[in-house]
Structure 1
Amino acid sequence: MHYEDIKQRILTFIENEERDSFDSLALQVFAYQYENNRIYRKFCRSRKVHPSMVQSYQQIPPVPVGAFKEAVIACTPIEEAETYFQTSGTTSGKQGRNYHHDLEVWTASMKSHFEENIMKEKCRVKMAILFPHPKEMPNSSLSQYLYTAIRDYGTEESVYIASNGTYDFEKLVSFLVESERTNTPVYLLGATFSFIHFVEYMEGKNLQFQLPKGSRLMDTGGSKGRAIEMSSDQFKQMVAEAFNLPVEDCVNMYGMTELSSQFYDQSGSGQQKAPHWVRTVVINPENGLCVQDGERGILVHYDLANFHSVLGVMTEDLGISKKGEFYLLGRSEGAEAKGCSLAVEQFRNGVSKWN
């Protein structure tokens, strides 16, 4: 199957899932990736898996997320890519890249799920973005995500708070004061740690806001590894009190550079809402088998929108599944972390030994 053919089928599925089944399209995407992604084909051969043998998406070999730091995993020549998104490399020092021949599917995926979970049927709303512009971080998937949000859903009065590596919190205060004065709902979107720092700033200045009805806050990234760590529920309570927002209007977005879709948690419980073009399973990383419902394991996401690289990505995130839904528990540790490292080693050995 050619590039444009598979792309159009995915775009149609994102727009209308009833036109095709997930399994059917997943097998088509797998066949396309097996044929066009040389590194992934070598990995599948090392696992003794061929598209002719696969009958369900759960039989498609997922690539460990660390593999993106080990090899170029792309279905089209990287010199023809419109862009690539790059991981920060803060954990291992290595940076992984996810190449995109174009961003049409990535953008369709972002907008469709964003509209459903964030926009509340509003066409445009005044926004403040607590993260750098793509001009400063051109290879950040989060930067592109937030730019798409403000470009396609923000009013002309929307603003960026981050610039040249710093946050202009005085500018954000003026933005919020104006919102209160005019009773204009606003959306605040940005990295979790940015909001934590701003709340600290508010406390130091003895500030508090009561945002107009219809306002929302969306954070992403979590606080693990920062000076201050807190659960998603604790964070929601903190910002809800700081801005006088209902807790349900404080939403967490979970996303990854190595994927092309996002998940949203509006409850604070870690329950993630996936789009209909993504399926998630929970596995034991040591043997790759699915764990029982309610047991913790490593999350594996099968994302149709990620057709430029690989459909299945084995994360380093812990989770549990319950009745078809999954709950995010945080980063892997202990035996699970060792299992993730072993998976990367197996990937490295598999692609190096197979000619």
Structure 2
Amino acid sequence: MNLKDEFKAAVISLKEDDPGFEPLALEIFRYQAEQNPIYKAFLKNLDIDPLKVSHLEKIPCLPISFFKNHTVVSGQIEVQHIFESSGTTGSQNARHYISDLPFYEFLSLKSFEKIYGSVTDYHILALLPNYLERDSSSLVYMVKGFIYNSFSTDSGFYLDEIGELLYRLKSLLQNTSRKVLLMGVTFALLDLAEGDFNLDFLRKYEDRLVIMETGGMKGRRKELLREEVHQILSETFFTQKIHSEYGMTELLSQAYSTGDGWFQASPSMKVLLREINDPFTYLPSFSLGTTKANSKSYGKTGGINVVDLANIDSCCFLETQDLGSFSEDYSKFKVLGRFDNSDVRGCNLMVM
């Protein structure tokens, strides 16, 4: 087993709040600091000696914009697939070079099932129109894996066939015992919610229907606060909770919200919040040695940095352009929007 395989085995074995996360992250950091040319140059320009970095919060995070203009890879890889962001007209798309699809498939399924239980408990209906129009979407690839592993011949993707989607949804709720996961990009779910459709049949099935938005207006609609989106969807679909998925092209791990707006990261992923005006200073958190009683960062907005240990073949330490805040016990995070000068992305929502 080579070093990368040892890292991947260690990542797969991580549990929630695993004390082994930080030492593993530091090991991978030193590996990528040497074997990733782009990250190595980034650290050199910051005058960072990797051997002197001894804490997770001291690891510099690479801006995700580097994925647009550079090939961000660690070591020698044999590319199996390229995940590419959709972007907007005239924008440069990010590209994530993938050399171990089974590893991604396993981790993404594990992350989902940790929150929602086995995918075999669900029929999965995916409303991802603009993503389906290209074969490089990491979201589509992930959901394909969920559908395959659900062993449901009634699961599937929908582009613009809204009538067929609703017919299938009603039939599954009325005639099967499984739950139904309706997973959609935000603008498509809003289009469905505001369409001339009779959805009264959903009133009886709140306990079996999970509505999950994945973010994304793509310039198709006016940007809304996530709370506004969820209110519209919950009223239309007769459910108190709208679930959410947080992921992006540059990440191989995901986080999920079960309806309260607070995301729980997978065991392979940790979120840190940086000061808005200082990318190298973090807001206090439990991982920085504070307690709920004396911390002043609860409820404060910061830039989201992600340590995604699934990114062994690219870069695990990323500075996103998303804004977020911590829950009171620091176990979850909320996505509040994006920096004003950042590109419109799939998860873009307005800042409160």
> Is the TM value for this pair above 0.5?
yes
1:108 equivalenced with 2:106 (yes/no): yes
Report the counterpart of residue 343 of structure 1 in structure 2: none
SS at match of 2:281: coil
How many residues were matched structurally? 323
Aligned to 1:280: 271
Which amino acid is 1:145 matched to? M
Which residue of the partner structure matches residue 297 of structure 1? 302
Q: Secondary structure at the match of 2:171?
A: helix
Instruction: Give the partner amino acid of 1:153.
Output: S
Secondary structure of the 1:217 match is: strand
Matches within 5 A, 1:139-178: 139-162=136-159, 167-178=160-171
With over 3 angstroms needed to count, the CA separation of the structure-2 counterparts of 1:190 and 1:102, relative to structure 1, is same
Further displaced range: 54-63 or 289-298? 289-298
Instruction: Give the Cα separation in 1 of the matches to 2:122 and 2:249.
Output: 26
Task: Tell me: CA distance 1:183–1:108, structure 2 relative to 1, closer, same or farther (3 Å).
Answer: closer
Q: Which residue identity is paired with 1:139?
A: S
The structure whose residues are more often helix, as a share, is 1
Aligned to 1:131: 128
Give the one of 100, 115, 130 matched to 1:117. 115
Q: Which amino acid aligns with 1:170?
A: G
Distance 1:326 1:176, change over 3 A: closer
Cα pair distance change 1:180/1:273, threshold 3 Å:
closer
TM-score by length of 2: 0.83
Q: In the alignment, which residue of structure 2 is the partner of 1:5?
A: 6
CA separation in 1, counterparts of 2:268 and 2:119? 24
1:216 matched to 2:210? The reply is yes
* Residue in structure 2 matched with residue 56 of structure 1 by the alignment: 55
Conserved in 2, the CA contact under 8 Å of 1:126 and 1:158? yes
Query: Structure 1's 152 and 235: CA in aligned 2 closer, same or farther, altered over 3 A?
Result: same
SS in 1 for 2:86: coil
CA distance in 1: counterparts of 2:138 and 2:258, whole angstroms:
21
Deviation at 1:222, TM superposition (A): 4.2
Are the equivalent residues in 2 in contact too, given 1:124–1:153 (CA < 8 A)?
yes
Instruction: Quote how far apart the aligned CAs of 1:62 are.
Output: 0.4
RMSD: 2.6
Question: Partner residue of 2:292?
Answer: none
* Offset from partner CA, 1:101-121 (integer Å, 9 cap, x none): 1123322221112012234x5
Moved more, 138-147 or 218-227: 218-227
Aligned residue number for residue 25 of structure 1: 24
1:307 aligns with 2:308: no
Q: Which residue pairs with 2:66 in the alignment?
A: 67
Structure 1 residues without counterparts, runs of 5 or longer: 339-355
Question: Does residue 259 in structure 1 map to residue 251 in structure 2?
Answer: yes
Contact 2:85 2:94 in 1 (8 A): yes
TM-score, L = length of structure 1: 0.82
Give 1:233's aligned residue: 227
Counterpart CA distance in 2 for 1:28 and 1:118 is: 31
Which has the larger displacement, 44-53 or 205-214? 205-214
One-letter code of the match for 1:318? L
Q: 2:258 corresponds to which letter in structure 1?
A: Q
Contact 1:298/1:318, CA 8 A, preserved across alignment = yes
Task: Give a deviation string over 1:147-187, Cα, whole Å, max 9, x none.
Answer: 1111112511112212xxxx101111211231344254322
Closer, same or farther: CA 252–311 of 1 in aligned 2, 3 Å: same
Aligned-pair distance for 1:66? 0.9
Instruction: Return the alpha-carbon distance in structure 2 between the equivalents of residues 180 and 89 of structure 1.
Output: 35
Which residue type is aligned with residue 86 of structure 1?
E
SS of corresponding position for 1:93: coil
Aligned to 2:84: 86
Q: Which deviations, in whole Å up to 9, do the C-alpha atoms of 1:72-93 show, x marking residues without a partner? A: 1111446x11112111232761
31 and 104 in structure 1: CA distance in 2 versus 1, 3 angstrom threshold: farther
Contact between 2:87 and 2:218, CA under 8 Å: does it hold in 1?
A: no
Q: Which runs of 5+ in 2 are unaligned?
A: 285-296, 344-352
Deviation at 1:58, TM superposition (A): 1.2
Mark the CA change 1:255 to 1:135 in structure 2 (over 3 Å): closer, same or farther. Answer: closer
Give how far 1:260 is off: 1.0
